[in-house]
Amino acid sequence: MRICGRTSISALAGMALLFCLATPGFAQGIADASGSASVADYGYGLPPDVSAHGHGIDQLISILHWFMAALFVGWGIFFVYCLIRFRQRAGHAAVAHPVKAKPAKALEIGVIAFEAVLLLGFSIPIWGSVKNDLPTEADDPLRVRVIAEQFNWNFHYAGPDGAFGRTNPEFISEATNPIGIDPGDSAGADDIVTGELNLPIERPVICEISSKDVIHSFSIPVMRIKQDAIPGMRIPVWFEARKTGTFQVACAQLCGNNHYKMLAPMVLHLPEAFADWVREASAPAEEFDEDDFED
Ligand SMILES: [Cu+2]
């Protein structure tokens, strides 16, 4: 009995901790206080939410955990009731066969109906709206191509001309041209290719995800975004950042022995600072004269 008691207390403490972590306010308080957030604010619960849509996802996680808590307590009480009600005692044999009763059937149907509402009423419509309703040109979205490879993230921006340069695997050079931009295409002259995801806040971003080799998964925990990167496909995901700061992009799919190292920084700028970054990053590299290296 003592072991049983200890196990139950640990289970209850574990459940209580889970509920705290799944409650959005618990994790977000830290990030909200500062106005801008960073990796240092991740804390122990859900990571800070810096996206426009993340609140809805956190709320659904919270609802599901509270629902599971109610089921846990309800089934626990029912379990103890059965142990007492159907036990062997003086004058009564233990009852081992199932007892058929109307309330039990109604309860089972109720749980199925509730889960159907969660799936059909919430999950599928939310998923559908996130995947299908991409921002239109009127929303002025920023498009970034994300090209995964073992074990790096490459981010490709169209540059000030707004046009992506053609790419072709025959031009790939790991050191100087990791995504194979065609040097003969003038649209690619001002393109930016970098290992650091720079984005403006308060503007929709569409990331087009692809991969050079195996299946990876583009994951930004603070943006509540995750999408598989599949060779041969360019899959869009979109979001809007709400806070400045520096965070992490990770790979969420075991993609090889250095998978754990597949991280990239994500820097969220105010719109003006982002425009400055684009200007600087797309400027042609400075040519040096031999004189520059003389003493
Ligand atoms: Cu990966």
8 Å CB contact between 195 and 152: yes
Structure tokens at 75: 């089934």
**Euclidean distance between CA atoms 183 and 191, whole angstroms:** 11
Looking at residue 98, its pLDDT comes to 78
Q: Kindly give the distance from the C-alpha atom of residue 151 to the centroid of ligand 1, in angstroms, as a whole number.
A: 6
Q: Kindly give the distance from the C-alpha atom of residue 153 to the centroid of ligand 1, in angstroms, as a whole number.
A: 9
Q: Kindly give the distance from the C-alpha atom of residue 171 to the centroid of ligand 1, in angstroms, as a whole number.
A: 23
Spatial CA neighbour of 208 closest among 145, 121, 262 = 145
Q: Kindly give the distance from the C-alpha atom of residue 230 to the centroid of ligand 1, in angstroms, as a whole number.
A: 11
Looking at residue 23, its pLDDT comes to 46
Looking at residue 112, its pLDDT comes to 95
Determine the distance from the C-alpha atom of residue 52 to the mean position of all C-alpha atoms in its chain, rounded to a whole number: 13
137-282: which CATH number, 3.40.50.2300, 2.60.40.420, 3.40.50.300, 3.40.190.10? 2.60.40.420
With bands split at pLDDT 50, 70 and 90, how would you rate the model's confidence at 295? low
- The tens digit of pLDDT for each residue in 48-77 reads 999 998 998 898 889 889 989 999 999 999
Q: Kindly give the distance from the C-alpha atom of residue 3 to the centroid of ligand 1, in angstroms, as a whole number.
A: 43
Sketch the domain layout of the chain as residue ranges. 2-99, 137-282
Q: What is the mean pLDDT of residues 186-207?
A: 94
Q: Kindly give the distance from the C-alpha atom of residue 7 to the centroid of ligand 1, in angstroms, as a whole number.
A: 38
With bands split at pLDDT 50, 70 and 90, how would you rate the model's confidence at 105? confident
**Euclidean distance between CA atoms 141 and 137, whole angstroms:** 7
Looking at residue 107, its pLDDT comes to 87
Surface-to-core class of residue 230, CB atoms within 10 Å of its CB (0-12 exposed, 13-18 middle, 19+ buried): middle
All residues at 6 or more sequence positions from 114 whose CB lies less than 8 Å from its CB, including other chains: 67
Residue with more model confidence, 165 or 2: 165
Q: Kindly give the distance from the C-alpha atom of residue 154 to the centroid of ligand 1, in angstroms, as a whole number.
A: 12
Q: What is the mean pLDDT of residues 233-257?
A: 94
Kindly report whether the global pTM for this prediction surpasses the value 0.95: no
- The tens digit of pLDDT for each residue in 156-195 reads 999 999 999 999 999 999 889 999 999 999 998 899 999 9
3-state DSSP assignment of residue 236: strand
Q: Kindly give the distance from the C-alpha atom of residue 149 to the centroid of ligand 1, in angstroms, as a whole number.
A: 7
DSSP state at residue 120: I
Share of residues in the chain with pLDDT > 70 (%): 82
pLDDT for residue 293 is more than 60: no
Looking at residue 9, its pLDDT comes to 52
With bands split at pLDDT 50, 70 and 90, how would you rate the model's confidence at 289? low
Q: Kindly give the distance from the C-alpha atom of residue 210 to the centroid of ligand 1, in angstroms, as a whole number.
A: 11
Looking at residue 31, its pLDDT comes to 41
With bands split at pLDDT 50, 70 and 90, how would you rate the model's confidence at 3? very low
Q: What is the mean pLDDT of residues 28-51?
A: 65
Q: What is the mean pLDDT of the chain?
A: 85
Q: Kindly give the distance from the C-alpha atom of residue 263 to the centroid of ligand 1, in angstroms, as a whole number.
A: 9
Q: Kindly give the distance from the C-alpha atom of residue 177 to the centroid of ligand 1, in angstroms, as a whole number.
A: 20
Q: What is the mean pLDDT of residues 5-13?
A: 52
Q: Kindly give the distance from the C-alpha atom of residue 104 to the centroid of ligand 1, in angstroms, as a whole number.
A: 47
Looking at residue 132, its pLDDT comes to 86
User: Does a cis peptide bond (omega within 30 degrees of 0) precede residue 151?
Assistant: yes
pLDDT for residue 249 is more than 50: yes
Looking at residue 121, its pLDDT comes to 92
pLDDT for residue 1 is more than 60: no
Helix/strand/coil percent split, the chain, to 5:
45, 25, 35
